[in-house]
Structure 1
Amino acid sequence: MIVKGYYSGALQVNSYLVYDEETKKGFIVDPGGVNAGLLQKAEEENLDILYIILTHGHGDHIGGVGVHQQTFPKAKLVACKKEKEFLKDASLNFSKETCGVSLSLEADLYVEESDTLQVGNLLLQFIETPGHTPGGMCILVEDSLFSGDTLFAQSIGRTDFPMGSFPDLISSIKEKLFLLPDETKVYPGHMGYTTIGHEKEHNPFV
């Protein structure tokens, strides 16, 4: 599995291009904006992008969805079923404030806890992690976790936005993410990369 991270959008979200090196099938996580490097890499590798996956519906993570759907028309937009309201409602997803335009999105595929998708030889498992938003989720692929705005390097996602919940977020991290092996790599929605083991020992919020 190859994981490439790119900053995108006004708030410099970590957008990820992930693909199976053998089959050249891949997916994109949280296109908050458009990063030419990501699009160029996908073209250079002649990747077959099957999915555009949203860890949650806030505007800084969805601002580039339209361009990526145009660039990869075969790709299906994936989100947690419980995030449907956020994606549709610009007053909840803050797209106007973060992207400069009000966005209302409808996913092609809504997933739930323990659902899986196959991308080449890669098995994607979805973990519902409410707290930052009601339908926030993480994506586990092999030994790598794409944590969105649930878990950061020695930090956590904000819970002071509409429908956020600090108790829910802490529960999501402690009762789900911290059950993963310590060596699990964590690719968050902002800031640098980390591991589950490091966060269990050093994260002051959990």
Structure 2
Amino acid sequence: MDAIKIIALPLGPFQVFTYILACRKTGDCAIIDPAGDPTAIVAALAREKGTPRMILNTHGHPDHVLANAALKEELDVLVWMHAEDSGLYTDAPGVTELEQQTGLTVDTTADHMFSDEERIVLGEAEIRVLHTPGHTPGSCCFLVDDHLFTGDTLFVGDVGRTDLKGGSLEQLIHSIETKLLDLPDNTCIWPGHDYNIDTSIPRVEAPTTLGKEKQENPYITDFILDP
């Protein structure tokens, strides 16, 4: 049995997947990308009888951090983000540009800046941080056992857009090639968005695996495996 239980909640105006990771033995929980509706997130934690320990942001785009501030205050937890993206909210021109591009305004701060290959303890589980810049400079994926939470780095059959502030398709492809493709093919991929499913139906299993994406994702097959 996996060390963690995964609860997937599609939330916010862009239906971002917010993930709650719950250590099965201790009940300690991490919230990945609280995308809005803090009431729904708190209710999910209560159903699991979980103890929230941290908020982990895969990146700093407004649609992925909408509920950061509300949950930080209500749950008394710290917000974690890569240093390369924490500057989005200390550099006013950057925030203004992102607000114009996404149509969202957020108020958030990062309390802890994680780095590549940092190991985060969650109860008896361990979360490994993989820095995968490209969608944003500070984009990260989180690996727990054979589960990979990819944010907007890797989708089902697609990748995150690179036309927003700080994005680079070349860098994104390099990140996927050097940081993700060496993982086992059976690694379960939990993306920040899944545009191929009905998000009104609760997600109970990962929508894809790394092996499947190696076979079917054109950004891997065409840009990396068959250049």
Q: Is the 8 A contact 2:101 2:164 kept in 1?
A: no
Change in Cα spacing, 1:96 to 1:34, as seen in structure 2 (3 Å) is: farther
**Residue 90 of structure 1, CA deviation:** 5.5
CA distance in 1, matches of 2:109, 2:153: 22
The residue type equivalent to 1:88 in the other structure is: T
**Residue 194 of structure 1, CA deviation:** 1.4
SS in structure 1 at match of 2:190: strand
Change in Cα spacing, 1:130 to 1:79, as seen in structure 2 (3 Å) is: same
The residue type equivalent to 1:204 in the other structure is: P
Structure 1 gap segments, 5+ residues each: none
Aligned residue pairs total 204
Mark the structure with the bigger radius of gyration. 2
> Which moved further from structure 2: 30-39 or 14-23?
30-39
- Counting only pairs closer than 5 Å after superposition, residues 24-173 of structure 1 correspond to structure 2 as 24-34=27-37, 36-73=39-76, 75-89=77-91, 91-93=93-95, 94-95=98-99, 98=102, 100-103=104-107, 105-173=108-176
Structure 2 gap segments, 5+ residues each: 198-206, 221-227
Matched, 1:23 2:23: no
> Which moved further from structure 2: 190-199 or 112-121?
190-199
Cα shift readout 1:133-158 (whole Å, capped 9, x = no counterpart): 01100111111011000000010010
What fraction of aligned residue pairs are identical, expressed as a percent?
33
Change in Cα spacing, 1:77 to 1:96, as seen in structure 2 (3 Å) is: farther
**Residue 96 of structure 1, CA deviation:** 6.2
> Which moved further from structure 2: 38-47 or 82-91?
82-91
Q: Is the 8 A contact 1:58 1:95 kept in 2?
A: no
TM-score normalised per structure 2? 0.84
Q: Is the 8 A contact 2:33 2:55 kept in 1?
A: yes
Change in Cα spacing, 1:22 to 1:14, as seen in structure 2 (3 Å) is: same
> Which moved further from structure 2: 53-62 or 192-201?
192-201
Matched, 1:199 2:213: yes
Matched, 1:190 2:220: no
CA distance in 2, matches of 1:124, 1:42: 19
**Residue 46 of structure 1, CA deviation:** 2.3
TM-score normalised per structure 1? 0.92
> How large is the RMSD of aligned CA atoms in angstroms?
1.7
SS in structure 1 at match of 2:26: coil
**Residue 175 of structure 1, CA deviation:** 1.2
**Residue 36 of structure 1, CA deviation:** 3.9
The residue type equivalent to 1:71 in the other structure is: E
